[in-house]
């Protein structure tokens, strides 16, 4: 294989450092690729795919490395590392930006677009690469109002299992384009460039934040379940159980607390006040130890909090569920996941998707008005079994009110679950059989809930 990038064979001195660096999670998978290919450009990707096919190697693809399960790291396969493919180019006339898969949505793309008064609904964590994020659907900024990030993909440049570079959109290779928007690590190709439709940048980001003692948990959950549907869709709504960064006099035991955070994507401060006002009707508002209403903010400030809550180098086990049901059964199922966290770094979040939007025709097809995710985070390997067992117990409790999960926070090896509709799963298998009958691409790690 002749490429401009780097080839690292198993057994070479640089191999182990490169294998571990492929996964952001401090809990590294014990799987060992046959070789690691760090592509320098699109031509390298074409050459690597052709080499893998000719030599009977399966391919795992890494863009930003934020997969909690380490999807790309597979035993005896080629780990195709796209971390050098992070170029950006904006067409100012159409507002379409072309980005490489390793482009970081928060650290790179957002500041670039801000210079042009534009925005793309990338991932909340600023270090996440766009490749895996978009292929999994992309639960980005204000997803409840603007929709999934994948809905704003207007085209992809993709290397097929035959080693051909093609452009796919709604009119050309439309089945490949359909599959790319939601199949995640099961996608049977390597996207080398995404063509994304941007939007005008809101001029007055405005936020409200409330912090409550944990004994308010159930009352807040019961109020929030119906209330979320009435809040203006320009507001992103997140309800968290977390240890917030407060002075000792506000949280003397450094205990988890309930945090309601709302971010308004508006153009005037007056609009921000108007759309955030309904949150002041929370029935336990007077018990809040922090009550910040309709204050100006920026995405840079919001990103800083994301980095604080998701520190690099720690050990993560993450799971999630699309939750639905009557208020009381939802509160009963979620109570323990909010109240009894296993470590100071762990947090549980309810990301509102209400009121639900109608999805376009794409592989992503499963959602409810409640996205519930548990980020179990700890420091020491000695706590692995305890923390992972706690997460498994919470997901068992939540299962009766769940219809499936979102790929971006999933780990099928730990807990298989559905992530698309049954009809779309069957359609996805048909499209894969057309393009990748020999299963060159590794696909899902473990079995999904459809299998």
Of 236-240, 391-395, 412-416, 445-449, minimum mean pLDDT range: 445-449
Contact 131, 161 (CB under 8 A): no
Q: What count of other Cβ atoms lies within 10 Å of the Cβ of residue 256?
A: 24
Instruction: Give the integer Cα–Cα distance in Å for 441 and 444.
Output: 9
Terminal alpha carbon distance of the chain: 36
Quick one: average pLDDT of 351-373?
A: 97
Domain boundaries, the chain: 6-81, 88-201, 206-409
Instruction: Give the integer Cα–Cα distance in Å for 305 and 349.
Output: 14
**Residue entry with tokens 């801000």:** 114
189's tokens: 């190709």
pLDDT tens digits for 297-327? 999 999 999 999 999 999 999 999 999 999 9
Q: Tell me the pLDDT of the chain averaged across its residues.
A: 97
Quick one: average pLDDT of 259-286?
A: 98
The CATH classification number of 206-409 equals 3.40.462.20
Q: Which of 31, 88, 23 is nearest to 62 (CA)?
A: 23
Q: Do domains 88-201 and 206-409 have the same CATH topology?
A: no
* Element housing 220 (H / E): helix 217-227
Contact 53, 427 (CB under 8 A): no
Q: What are phi and psi of 218, to 5 degrees?
A: -65, -40
Query: Residue 362 burial (CB < 10 Å; 0-12/13-18/19+)?
Result: buried
Best CATH choice for the domain 6-81 from the list 3.40.50.880, 3.40.50.1390, 3.30.43.10, 1.10.10.10: 3.30.43.10
Q: What count of other Cβ atoms lies within 10 Å of the Cβ of residue 398?
A: 20
247's tokens: 């002075």
Tell me the residue ranges of DSSP E strands in 183-308.
Answer: 190-197, 199-200, 206-212, 235-242, 257-264, 290-296
Alpha-helical runs (H) found in 323-442? 327-339, 384-398, 422-435
Q: What are phi and psi of 221, to 5 degrees?
A: -60, -45
pLDDT at 447 over 90: no
- pTM listed for this prediction: 0.97
Checking DSSP bridges between strand 78-81 and strand 35-38, what pairing results, if any? parallel
Q: With bands split at pLDDT 50, 70 and 90, how would you rate the model's confidence at 451?
A: confident
DSSP 316-341: EEEEEEEE-S-HHHHHHHHHHHHH--
Q: Which fold has domain 88-201?
A: 3.30.465
Give pLDDT, residue 100.
Answer: 98
Q: With bands split at pLDDT 50, 70 and 90, how would you rate the model's confidence at 350?
A: very high
Quick one: average pLDDT of 426-431?
A: 98
């Amino acid at each position: 294989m002749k490429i401009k990038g780097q080839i690292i064979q198993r057994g070479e001195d640089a191999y182990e450092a490169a294998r571990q660096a492929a996964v952001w999670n401090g809990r590294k998978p014990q799987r060992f690729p046959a070789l690691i290919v760090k592509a320098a450009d699109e031509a390298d990707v074409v050459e690597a795919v052709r080499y893998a096919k000719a030599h009977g190697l399966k391919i795992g693809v890494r863009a930003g490395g934020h997969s909690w399960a380490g999807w790309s790291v597979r035993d005896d396969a080629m780990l195709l590392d796209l971390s050098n493919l992070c170029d950006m180019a904006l067409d100012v006339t159409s507002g379409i930006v072309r980005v490489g898969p390793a482009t970081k949505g928060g650290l790179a793309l957002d500041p670039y677009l801000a210079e042009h008064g534009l925005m793309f609904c990338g991932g909340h964590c600023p270090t996440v690469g766009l490749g895996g994020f978009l292929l999994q659907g992309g639960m980005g900024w204000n997803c409840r109002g603007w929709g999934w990030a994948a809905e704003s993909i207007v085209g992809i440049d993709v290397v097929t299992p035959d080693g051909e570079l093609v452009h796919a959109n709604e009119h050309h290779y439309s089945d490949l384009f359909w599959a790319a928007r939601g199949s995640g690590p099961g996608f049977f190709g390597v996207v080398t460039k995404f063509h994304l439709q941007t939007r005008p940048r809101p001029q007055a980001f405005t936020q409200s934040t409330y912090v409550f003692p944990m004994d308010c948990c159930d009352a807040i959950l019961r109020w929030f379940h119906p209330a979320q549907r009435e809040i203006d869709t320009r507001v992103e709504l997140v309800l968290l159980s977390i240890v917030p960064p407060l002075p000792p006099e506000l949280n003397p035991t450094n205990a988890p607390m309930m945090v309601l955070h709302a971010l308004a994507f508006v153009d005037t401060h007056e609009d921000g006040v108007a759309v955030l006002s309904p949150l002041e009707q929370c029935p336990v508002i007077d018990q809040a130890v922090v009550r910040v209403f309709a204050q100006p903010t920026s995405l840079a400030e919001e990103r800083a909090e994301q980095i604080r809550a998701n520190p690099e180098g720690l050990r993560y086990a993450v799971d999630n569920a699309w939750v639905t049901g009557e208020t009381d059964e939802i509160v009963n199922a979620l109570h323990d996941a909010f109240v009894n966290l296993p470590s100071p770094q762990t947090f549980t979040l309810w990301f509102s998707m209400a009121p639900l939007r109608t999805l376009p025709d794409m592989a992503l097809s499963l959602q409810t008005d409640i996205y519930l995710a548990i980020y179990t985070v700890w420091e020491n390997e000695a706590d692995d079994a305890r923390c992972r067992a706690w997460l498994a117990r919470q997901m068992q409790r939540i299962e009766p009110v769940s219809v499936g999960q979102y790929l971006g926070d999933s780990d099928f090896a730990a807990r298989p679950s559905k992530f698309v509709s049954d009809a779309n799963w069957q359609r996805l298998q048909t499209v894969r059989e057309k393009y990748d009958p020999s299963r060159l691409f590794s696909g899902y790690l473990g079995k999904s809930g459809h299998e």
